[in-house]
Amino acid sequence: VVVHPQFTEPEAALRAADHPVERVFLTPEEGFALAPERVPEDADLVVVGNPTNPTSVLHPAGAVAALARPGRVLVVDEAFADTIPGEPESLAGRADLPGVIVLRSLTKTWGLAGLRVGYALAGPDLIRELAHAQPLWAVSTPALVAAEACSTPAALAEVERDAHALAAERAYLVERLHAVPGVHLP
């Protein structure tokens, strides 16, 4: 199951690998809010973004965590999580949840799209499965060097400062958009 609206790559990759894909659509009428009960109970794989691309909706961690269960892999795309001060809705530190893989990207905040660098956070068994399927030389040396540089305490502090500045800019933009006749925001 791929929860939409969503970045298109997860569904495209699943379809390219001949996996059947079922979609669960979040609606603008409901503010694109995640409703875990709408995901079929028998889904063995669920992919959801948090915050979502393209809506930028940040789902409560509890709603995302409610999708986790034994026998299911829950992939949470948190490529934009570091744009939220303190990352309060992240599942990155939730070792108590079964089958969760949190995907993070360094390409957004750090502008490293050409390096294609990111990482997965999951329990040891899932990491072993992912490593087994990973192609040789999947990450270049420049990408590894960049990842290290983006992980220093100074870099993490910079990202947090940027997240606070972005939150202020986001609030200003939302305020101004609300003043435009005919513009509706979730």
Domain membership of residue 32 (yes or no) is: yes
Domain membership of residue 31 (yes or no) is: yes
- Name the residue with tokens 């298109």: 8
Q: Given a cut of 80, is residue 160 above it in pLDDT?
A: yes
- 55-71: average pLDDT: 96
Sign of the dihedral through C-alpha 86, 92, 93, 96 = positive
Domain membership of residue 186 (yes or no) is: no
User: Any idea what the CATH number is for the domain that residue 172 is in?
Assistant: 3.40.640.10
Q: The whole model's pTM is what? A: 0.92
Identity at 100, one-letter amino acid code: V
pLDDT, residue 78, reads 97
pLDDT digits (tens, 9 = 90+) for 116-156: 889 999 999 999 999 999 888 888 999 999 999 999 999 99
- Grouping H, G, I as helix, E, B as strand and the rest as coil, residue 78 is coil
Domain membership of residue 71 (yes or no) is: yes
Q: Among 163, 177, 57, 64, which residue's Cα sits nearest to residue 108?
A: 163
